Amino acid sequence: MLRWALIFLVIALIAAALGFTGVYVAAAAIAKLLFYVFIVLFVISLVMHMVGGSRRGPLV
Q: How many Cβ atoms from other residues are within 10 Å of residue 45's Cβ?
A: 10
**C-alpha to C-alpha distance for 41 and 45, rounded to whole angstroms:** 6
Sequence spans of domains, the chain: 2-52
The structure's pTM equals 0.61
- Do residues 46 and 38 lie in contact, with contact meaning Cβ atoms separated by under 8 Å? no
**pLDDT, tens digit, 9 for 90 and up, residues 16-38:** 888 877 888 888 888 888 889 88
**C-alpha to C-alpha distance for 15 and 9, rounded to whole angstroms:** 10
Residue-level pLDDT at 60: 57
Report residue 1's pLDDT band, with 50, 70 and 90 as the boundaries: low
- Do residues 15 and 27 lie in contact, with contact meaning Cβ atoms separated by under 8 Å? yes
Residue-level pLDDT at 55: 62
